[in-house]
Copies of this chain bind each other. A is one copy, B any other.
Amino acid sequence: MNTTLSTGIKNARNVRSYMYGFGQLGELRNILHSCRVADSPAVYFIDHYFQANGLPAGLEVDASKDIVIFIDSTHEPKTGQVNALRDEVLSRARKMPCAIVGLGGGTTMDVAKAVSNLLTNGGNAEDYQGWDLVKKPGIFKIAVPTISGTGAESTRTCVMTNPVNGLKLGMNSDYTVFDQIILDPQVTASVPRNQYFHTGMDAYIHCLESANGSYRNAVGDAFGEQTLDLCRKVFQSEEMLSDDNRARLMVASYMGGCAIATSYVGLVHPLSAGLSVVLGVHHCVGNCIVMRAMEEFYPEGFREFWSMVEQQGVDIPRGICDNLTDEQYEKLYLSTIIHEKPLTNALGENFKEILTFEKAVSLFRKM
């Protein structure tokens, strides 16, 4: 066991406050009331799913005061998109907003974090990609996760890509942590089965990687073990989408996010990042696809993962790397191998001797 937090985060910042419970989304109104200054607006970033399907029950938006912006979560956030959203807020709000609400999945919550930071710190999103570059607290920000697994509700980053230089890196900062989160398992009742599984497994896979890595510590282990246990309860049950299981997965997502702060991922996430960058595969389903090739690295996790896939009867895409060009394989390799810290955690300092180009291609072909 390592003796200190080994992720460069010596001092882990918690989410300030959390509410939990079926129907707690209705409390959002009171939270906003308590932080509202005069007629300053609240800004809602809401996943576009709810534009097509109606707002979740219990959400009351005052359209005369507040600003609602739907977020297209088809693709993960880009720096230009974050800047444009900041501009839209500034042009529509007559005053500085009193609060930013991110209601959706990882993409929507990350956008909320990023815009909150930009509104008070000035500059553009790309100026803050890195570690501890944000200098002031952002606007009071509230997360309402509507799908469970990524842990964006509890982490200190907001992932985004700058298409100009290809950099995929968040604003890693204590100021990126939400002030308030509302965990209401009622809002995840309508998530489709496949997406529920893929996203939930982000928490499971992260903690599987950490538990098998060489950088470990007692705090990360404890949050990680509990996350894994909760995921097992959910995905080894008869009905993974039951009320109790949606509640458990919501807690697993929160705790998995807490685990991230104090641990490293391993081999799955770097390979999955390759799939994202080169083939545009979404992060969560990408992790599941990578698991096809993980038997030799995580034998127990591999068996457990695929038994849960089978039990729940969900689909994991297959063969997406079968017939790529040499150039594509090269790109996949390069965008995997740059993730040095997690690969060192998984394979040791000489990870390039294990994960050679040929080895990586054979893994991608298994997917």
**In the assembly, what is the distance between CA of A268 and CA of B27, in Å?**
34
**A interface residues, tally (CB under 8 Å):** 44
From residue 219 to 244 of chain A, which have CB atoms closer than 8 A to chain B?
219, 222-223, 225-226, 229-230, 243-244
Interface positions, chain A 282-305, Cβ under 8 Å from B, are none
A217 to B248, alpha carbons, bound, how many Å? 9
Contact of A225 among B14, B23, B31, B229 (CB under 8 A): B229
State which of B12, B21, B262 has its C-beta within 8 Å of the C-beta of A4: B21
Please tell me if the beta carbons of A27 and B10 are within 8 angstroms of each other in the complex.
yes
Central interface residue in A5, A21, A174, by most chain B CB within 10 Å: A21
Q: Are B222 and A251 in contact (CB under 8 A)?
A: yes
A222 touches B230 (CB 8 A): yes
Bound together, the chains give a CA A199 to CA B64 distance in angstroms of: 55
- In the complex formed, the residue of B with least CB distance to A227 is B222
Residues of B within 8 A of A360 (CB): none
Q: Report the minimum CB–CB distance from A172 to chain B (whole Å).
A: 15
Residues of B contacting A23 in the complex (Cβ-Cβ under 8 angstroms): 3-4
Chain B residues, CB < 8 A from A254: 219
Q: Which residues of B contact A222 (CB under 8 A)?
A: 226, 230, 248, 251-252, 255
The reply to whether the CB of A144 lies closer than 8 angstroms to some CB of chain B is no
Q: Quick check: A13 and B16 within 8 Å, CB to CB? A: yes
Q: A219 to B1, Cβ gap below 8 A?
A: no
Contacting residue for A19 out of B12, B21, B250, B252, CB 8 A: B12
Interface centre among A14, A218, A247, A254 (most CB of B within 10 A): A218
Q: CB-CB contacts of A1-39 with B at 8 A, as 1s and 0s? A: 101110000111111111111111001000100000000
Chain B residues near A225: list those with CB within 8 A.
226, 229
- Does A183 count as interface, using CB distance less than 8 angstroms? yes
Q: Which residues of B contact A31 (CB under 8 A)?
A: 11
Residue pair A16, B14 in contact (C-beta under 8 Å)? yes
* Chain B positions within 8 Å of A27 at CB level: 10-11
Partner of A14, one of B15, B22, B185: B15
Find out whether the CB atom of B1 lies under 8 angstroms from the CB atom of A247.
yes
Most chain B CB atoms below 10 A, which of A1, A3, A31, A248: A3
Instruction: Let me know if A14 and B11 touch, CB within 8 A.
Output: no
Residues of B within 8 A of A10 (CB): 19, 21, 24, 27
Assess A17 versus B22: contact at CB under 8 Å? Given A222-B255, A247-B218, A248-B218: no
What are 16 A-B pairs at a CB distance below 8 A? A1-B243, A4-B21, A4-B22, A11-B31, A11-B180, A12-B19, A12-B20, A14-B17, A20-B217, A20-B219, A20-B262, A217-B247, A222-B230, A222-B255, A225-B226, A226-B229
